[in-house]
Amino acid sequence: MTRRGKWMLGTAVVLVLGGLATWLLLKSRAEDVAYTTEAVRRQDLRESVTANGEIQARTKVNVGSTITAEIREIHVKDGQWVKVGDLLVSLDQERLRQDLVRAELSLVTARQDLKNAQAGFDKQSQTYQRRDDLYAKGIVSKEDFQQEKLNLDNATTQLERAKAGVQQAEAALAQAKDNLSKTVIRASMSGQVTGLKAEKGETAIAGQTNVAGAVLMVISDLSEMMAEIKVGELDVVKLRTGQPAEVTVDAIPGKIFQGKVITVASGTDRPAGNSFGNTQETQSYKVRVQLLGTAEELGALRPGMSARIAVLTAERKRVLSVPLAAIQERETKAGGLGLMTGSRSVVFVVKGGKAEERTLVTGLSTRRAAEVKEGLSEGEAVITGPTKALPMLANGQSVKVEKPK
């Protein structure tokens, strides 16, 4: 054997002996540990999703402008109740009045052009008819007849253009009138002004709601209130519309509002254009819970109040359960191509002073216990601790059980 081969063999022997010594040490330590156990029993299990959120009116509208103009007057105050059709904001009309005058003059001109084009067409049509009769009798030449036909075609084109000009002028006038009418903004729903964002003299920006100045105020219907939360991708799959919920509000301590889930977002709140390669980014989904209660109870709530929401996602009565502390996750090969690794849930049951490994099929899980579908029987003692010693347990290992205090 060469020197290199002897060296490699010596290294391997040292590693094996070191590993064996480490295993024996851990095994001896594991056997010296006093383990705690708990009996598998039947109990009621309730699974819930809890998150922080805020109170909102179920129905609200962002009042904005469809034109860009200076705010001349704001006719309401923050917190004021309004009815449908009430005057909210008046915008500057001067520029739009001038646009209206120009549109009216353009329509007058277009109609006059149409009148002239119609007269020219009628005259050319008569001339063409006479030339057609004379050409049929052989009195005029073919060239003269074709020239009159060309003149009639030109007159027809001019007439069609004039008609189109009138239509465009009428549309421009209607647009100018519509723009002028939009300088007066009225309430589209009844409710309370819950967010007055504009001031007299500022410029109302048309259309773009994410631009400062686009939303002038918010009107909310406070007769129906809801709590809005954002949950992660692991929790959103548990939520369904109609599930019951409880809501507490920081501003009203001691009061628990009952509610139910009314919407669960089907898409993430991630902004468009984000890279899918960013696996560290937490995805969130918007969930809305309608609050139940009397008008007096809901009347104490205000949009924007902080809230804590718990949604009951599942419930099982008298099911076999095991403490979560007893469950260990062990790596295993997944199915299919076998390229991905999976995990299996195992527990250790004390049998004749030794640890017996069991693979579990679990169901509903809470923060303390999990439903057992397969793998355990009622009354069996599963090892629950100490937490640091559980990963060192092996099937068939002798264990010392701590006596209950």
Distance CA 291, CA 219 (A): 19
302 phi, psi to nearest 5 deg: -130, 140
At 402 the pLDDT is 79
At 7 the pLDDT is 54
| pLDDT tens digits, one per residue of 334-371 | 666 777 778 889 999 999 899 999 999 999 988 899 99
Q: Which residues contact 278 (CB under 8 A, 6 or more apart)?
A: none
For residue 327, CA distances in Å to 45, 371, 378, 393 come to 17, 11, 16, 12
DSSP class of residue 264 equals E
Instruction: Say what the pTM is.
Output: 0.66
At 333 the pLDDT is 73
At 211 the pLDDT is 61
Report whether 21 contacts 286 (CB < 8 A): no
Distance CA 88, CA 193 (A): 10
Distance CA 377, CA 56 (A): 48
C-alpha closest to that of 289 among 19, 106, 35, 51:
51
C-alpha closest to that of 313 among 266, 246, 396:
246
3-state secondary structure of 266: coil
Report whether 370 contacts 324 (CB < 8 A): yes
Domains present along the chain, CATH in parentheses: 30-43+319-401 (2.40.420.20), 93-181 (1.10.287.470)
Distance CA 31, CA 13 (A): 27
Report whether 387 contacts 366 (CB < 8 A): no
Strand stretches in 184-233, DSSP E: 184-186, 191-196, 203-204, 215-232
Distance CA 72, CA 185 (A): 12
Distance CA 139, CA 258 (A): 99
Q: Which residues contact 303 (CB under 8 A, 6 or more apart)?
A: 54, 55, 56, 57, 60, 194, 195, 218, 220, 222
Within 13 Å of residue 338, how many CA atoms lie on the same side as its CB? 0
Helices (H), 207-317: 233-236, 295-299
Report whether 231 contacts 288 (CB < 8 A): no
255 phi, psi to nearest 5 deg: -100, 130
Residue type, 327: I
Report whether 111 contacts 170 (CB < 8 A): no
205-219 burial code (b ≥16 CB/10 A, e <16): beeeeeeebbbbbbb
Q: From the CB of residue 226, how many other CB atoms can be counted at a distance below 10 Å?
A: 24
Enumerate residue ranges in the chain where pLDDT < 50.
23, 25-26, 28, 275
Distance CA 256, CA 308 (A): 10
Residue with tokens 């409880």: 246
377 phi, psi to nearest 5 deg: -120, 155
C-alpha closest to that of 245 among 323, 294, 313:
313
Ramachandran class of 166: left when φ > 0, alpha when ψ lies in -120 to 50, beta otherwise: alpha
Distance CA 60, CA 193 (A): 10
